[in-house]
Every structure is written in structure tokens, then in C-alpha cells.
Chains A and B, each alone.
Chain A
Amino acid sequence: MMAEEFSLSFLMELERDKILEVLYRDQVVQKAEDDRIRKLKMQLHQLRWKGVKNVNESQERSCARCQQSLGWMLNRGAVCEGCSHRVCSGCRIYLNIYIWKCTVCYAHREVKIKTGDWFFEERAKKFSLSGKYETTGTKLLTSYQKMSNISVVPPTPPPFAEAASEGNSMDLSKSKGFTKSVENLFFSLTTHMKKISKSQDDVTAPRFHLTADYGQHAEWRKERRSQSDTAIDIANRITNAPNLLNLIKKTKGTEECEDSSSKQEEDFNFTSNTIFSGRRKYGSICSINSTCTEADNYDKTNVTGEIELAIMYNFKTSTLEICIKACTNLAYGEEKKKKCNPYVKTYLLPDKSPQSKLKTAVKKNTVNPSFLETLKYKIHCSQLVTRMLQISVWHSGTLKRKVFLGEVLIPFESWDFGDNSLQSFNCYQLKTKVIIAPQNRACMV
């Protein structure tokens, strides 16, 4: 009897994890897409800007696109139906034998197709969604994160109350944007799951929010079940948390205490709203969506340079080994002072807990640091496919200030550890942090 109930609730929890995992994968797709769209719109913007400048600069009759002067009788040019600018025959692109557009209008049309704007515009006619570009996946995740937050609000302020309240207020301000139906939807999904496991014990509801593992560790799950849980309990677990995720062990033991103060500053800042399980687990998404202080940090420096590293998986010891060789041509952490003290930090996403964080030593005063350090994660190879390695480079400034210098994301979904070419050293271009904010996408004009 008990065993049956156990397996049922186990299943529901797995279901929820499975769905969250899918949503998380979707965010990766979405992130690449947002990046691509931003680039396309930027290109169009530049093209258009060029045209406008030409028009303003010259008083005489000339082609708005290439500035070639136009005659009054011969080579008069013609007015583009899209933008009403006069253009020469060389700056027209024919859609068919009758209809043409000027180069800019044509590019505009292309961008509208390639960005999927045609779709979002069509959809906006049928649904009045809060965000024109927002996807159901993103909404679900965000409201899930919000819900986890609301239902586990600490009764008494935990030691990191500041971070917690920051997360709250931010969510409230964002919450206006969500359509009620989706919230209800996820709520019904979650209550449905709760209902089924309700008979189990009375800590079901919190447990629903507090599960932090990937569902493979029945042992640990059982142990958790017997614990009464309060928010304080979680808080403790997060700050000390040595046994929270023994799936991943730091093999580099020393630095944990060395940077405990910077951890406060950096990680809590970064994951200010990742205190609770759903948030911790999918903290990266959450921070992507948010406009928290750390996100601002990402904008301040430009990102340049490359990182050279090798990734190996040791099947004998079940360890993922990342050998960080060097970085080249990094941006300065403090541009004015031409200062840069770089170090490399890794997370094995979606886990953003301190257990998942590894760091190299800080190199002083260089934009071409050589590290030659190996960072190791103890993780079973079967779990690796759902993970993504986040390798970020940071500048360690005075007063423990951190400045983001770039990152590389490596998903293991289709990684072949038998492939030797992947195991040798490779250079990866450092990328800016992509902040997904679908509502804020520049409107096409």
C-alpha cells in the first residue's frame, strides 16, 4: 500500500521534472533565436541608417540608397512604393516582373520573414498576449518560478533576507505581464500533482517546490521526505549545503572557504532569486529573464577574445574534466584603468548552486592569462546529457567586485566523449551574456 503510493508520487514528481527539463531545453533554443534576431535587426538598422544619412546629406536629386545622382529626364529613378524614396534602377529588387522594392524595403521584408515577425503579427490579431514574442514555455517557467517563490515565502527573515526580498519585488513588478490563463494552467498542473501525492504526507506541498535533484536519487529523496521543512531549513541548506547535491563533488576542495565572502557577493547577487528549488535548479533561466543587478554588470564591458580548453570524461572515475589552458585578447575589466585580473568560473547547468561552481586562480594584470588548471565534476555520464557547461571569464576587481568578461556554453546533449577531436584543446570565442527579454525586443519599424 505504502509502496504503491510512493511510486505514484514519485512518478508525478518525475513528470514535473521532465516537463521542466523540456522547458529548459526550449530556453536554449530560444536564446540562440533571440541572439540571431537581434543581429538581423541590427543589420537592417545599419542599412537603413546609411540610406537616411545619404538623403539628408545631399540636396540634389539622388538615389536614396546608393546616392548616385539622378537626372530630370534620363535616369530619373523611381519612387519605391514601400518607403516613397526615389531610387535608381540598380537599387531595386524585383519580387516578380511587375513589383519591385528598394534594397532597404527588400531587406525589411526579409527580416520580417526571417525573424518570424510575420507569425507574431498574425498571432497578435487573434490573441492579445502580454508579450508579442513571448512563448508559452517561457511563461510557464517564469510563473513556475514565481509560484515557487510565493508559496515558500519565509515566515521569518532568513539570514539572506535582502536577497530574498529583492527577488520578490522584482517578480511582483514583472507579474503584471503574465496572462492569467497560463498561471492558472500551471497552477492546475501543480495542484493536480500535489493532490495525487497529498495522501503521502503533509509536507507534500513544500516538497514539491524543494526538490533540487534530478529525480534519480531515490535514496536522497527518501531522506528528504522525513525532514520537516521550513524556509529556514532551506536557507541553511543553501548556505552550508555540503550534502545537498552529492551528485556533484568539488574535487578541488580548497577554494570553497577561500572565497566564501565573494560568494556572498557574487552568487547571491547573481542568483538573488534562485533561493528556492525551482529557481536554483533553473536559476540560469531565471537570471536571464530578470533585470537584477548582476545583469547590468554584463553590459558594462564589451566582450572580446577567446578561451582555450579541453573537455574530457573519465569513465573510470565518472569525472568530467575541464582543462582550462588560457585566454587571449580579453577585454579589460576596468577599461579606464586598463586593469584586468581574470579568472575562469564554471557551472554545470542547470545547477547553479555553489556545489556546481568551480573556479581557477585569479591571474593578475593580464588580458592573455595562462591558467593550465583542470576543474573536475563528479557526475555519472548518463546525467551529463541533460547538462550544459557554462564557462565564464571574470575580472576580479578591488573590493571583491566582479566584472563579466564573456562566456561559452557547451551543451552535452549530443557530445561524443569517444571523439578524440573534441577531447583535445579547442579555442572558443567568448560570447556576451544573452539576456532573454522577449517583451523588450526592439519593435520592427
Chain B
Amino acid sequence: MTDGDYDYLIKLLALGDSGVGKTTFLYRYTDRIFNPKFITTVGIDFREKRVVYNNTGPNGSPGKTFKVHLQLWDTAGQERFRSLTTAFFRDAMGFLLMFDLTSQQSFLNVRNWMSQLQANAYCENPDIVLIGNKADLSDQREVNERQAKDLADKYGIPYFETSAATGQNVEKTVDMLLDLIMKRMEQCVDKTQVSETVNGAASGKLDPVKPEEKKCAC
């Protein structure tokens, strides 16, 4: 797993209250099994997975496929690890913000996690998906879908209801996040290259004789 034969290294990070199912979710995603044992995450951990990503080309034409190496960081929700875990936020390119559908409290804390993210993630508005987990426990549900959707809309992020136990929506959720990140990568480079071009054009007017000396060719 540790060879460099991939096109992208994408680092995702799961966060949310302790016990909402982050570890189980990631385990489900990477190994496709439900591990019902409750093993408290000590501070931080990560799992890895290689996936193939299909990029849709311009105009939605079928694009290239890429090998993506996913590093999925798991964090402990407990307060005493907070300073350790939040330090890892800034290395992640996308976030799985999770609460437990059977715990109103974990849902209320989503706001706090959002502000932690805004403070510690690599930018002010990183790619995030909101996840209501344990959807299989419908008889114990404390958070309804409308509530959660409204909150997600408020933040402008997608919302999924998942179950690490049955696997419902687990892959779909990660795929969605991956999609958002891949789009952002393109936007980021094209945005900066456009501004480079603008600068280039401006200086080009001042000094039009030496086009060879522009940045690109150094």
C-alpha cells in the first residue's frame, strides 16, 4: 500500500463527538465490514484505501480515470485530545463531519465542530459533508432529516444519512467528498493561473520584446 503508484494523495478527516461512529464508519469504508466492537480512538489514527476516480471531462464527456490514494484520518472526539486532534485539521483536504442520529446532543455539537473547522482547517470554507450516522437504528432516532438538512443548507454543504452497520450511503458519502475536492483542485489551479496570466499580460505590455523570459519556461 505504500508504493507511490497513484495519481493523487487525498487526505480526509473524520470529526464529531465521541461515539457517533467515526471509527466504525471508516472501517466500514476501507474494509467493507462492520466491526461492532467499541474501541476508543486514542488521539488520532488513520486508515488507507486506494480508489479509482473517474473524472468527467469538459462538457460532461467521459474523462480520464485516476488512481487515488486516500488517507482517512480518524480523530478522538474527547475533549482531552482536542488540542492534538485539531492540529491535524490543517493537513486535511476534506472533512467528514459526523453526528449520531440517535443523539440530539451530538447533533447540537455540530455547530461547535464547524467553528473548530473554520479556525483550524486549511481555509475558511473547506469541503465538508455532514453525516447523520446510525440510520439503521430508526426506532431510537432523535434527529429528524429535515432538521439536519436545514443545518447543512445553512452551511452550504451536502448531507447524508448513513449506517456503518449496514453500509448504507457510506461509499456514496466519501465519493461525494472526493468529488468536491477534485473539483476544487481544478478551480484552485485555474484561478491562480488566470491571475498569473493577467499579471503576465500587464508586464507584457511594458516589455513586449522578450516573451521568452516569462515565468512558465524557467
Q: Which of B8, B42, B218 contacts A114 (CB 8 A)?
A: B8
Task: Write out, one digit per residue, whether chain B residues 17-50 have a CB within 8 A of any chain A CB (1) or not (0).
Answer: 0000000000000000000000000111110100
Q: Does B58 lie within 8 Å of A84, measured CB to CB?
A: no
Q: Does A136 lie within 8 Å of B91, measured CB to CB?
A: yes
Task: Write out, one digit per residue, whether chain A residues 91-125 have a CB within 8 A of any chain B CB (1) or not (0).
Answer: 00011110000101100110011101011011101
Identify the closest chain B residue to A96 (Cβ): B58
Q: Does A122 lie within 8 Å of B200, measured CB to CB?
A: no
Residues in B neighbouring A409, C-beta threshold 8 A: 2
* B52: Cβ under 8 A from any A Cβ: no
* B216: Cβ under 8 A from any A Cβ: yes
Residues in A neighbouring B2, C-beta threshold 8 A: 28-29, 31-32, 409, 411
Known A82-B197, A83-B217, A104-B217; judge A413-B1 contact (CB<8 A). yes
Q: Does A19 lie within 8 Å of B217, measured CB to CB?
A: no
* A414: Cβ under 8 A from any B Cβ: yes
The residues in B between 61 and 106 inclusive whose CB is less than 8 angstroms from any CB of A are 69, 71, 80, 83-84, 87-88, 90-91, 93
Q: Which of B1, B8, B204 contacts A84 (CB 8 A)?
A: B204
Q: Does B216 lie within 8 Å of A109, measured CB to CB?
A: no
Complex: how many Å from CA A86 to CA B184?
Answer: 30
Interface centre among A14, A97, A126, by most chain B C-beta atoms within 10 angstroms, is A126
Q: Does B216 lie within 8 Å of A80, measured CB to CB?
A: yes
In whole Å, how far is B210's beta carbon from the nearest beta carbon of chain A? 9
Interface centre among B184, B185, B218, by most chain A C-beta atoms within 10 angstroms, is B185
Complex: how many Å from CA A19 to CA B215?
Answer: 43
Closest 3 CB pairs of A and B: A83-B216, A36-B4, A123-B122
Residues in chain B within 8 A of chain A (CB atoms): 1-4, 6-9, 42-46, 48, 58-59, 69, 71, 80, 83-84, 87-88, 90-91, 93, 122-124, 184-186, 188-190, 192-193, 196-197, 200-201, 204, 211-212, 214-218
- 17 A-B pairs besides A26-B71, A33-B9 with CB distance below 8 A are A29-B2, A32-B3, A82-B193, A84-B212, A85-B212, A97-B59, A104-B217, A109-B190, A112-B189, A116-B8, A118-B184, A119-B93, A122-B123, A126-B122, A126-B124, A136-B87, A445-B218
Cross-chain pairs A/B with CB under 8 angstroms, 28 sampled:
A19-B84, A22-B45, A26-B71, A28-B2, A29-B48, A36-B9, A39-B4, A55-B212, A55-B217, A83-B216, A84-B200, A84-B204, A84-B216, A85-B214, A96-B59, A97-B58, A97-B59, A102-B216, A104-B216, A108-B216, A118-B184, A118-B185, A118-B192, A119-B188, A136-B91, A181-B87, A185-B87, A188-B83
Residues in chain A within 8 A of chain B (CB atoms): 14-15, 18-19, 22, 25-26, 28-29, 31-33, 35-36, 39, 48, 51-52, 55, 64, 79-86, 94-97, 102, 104-105, 108-109, 112-114, 116, 118-119, 121-123, 125-127, 135-137, 140, 181-182, 185, 188-189, 192, 409, 411, 413-414, 445
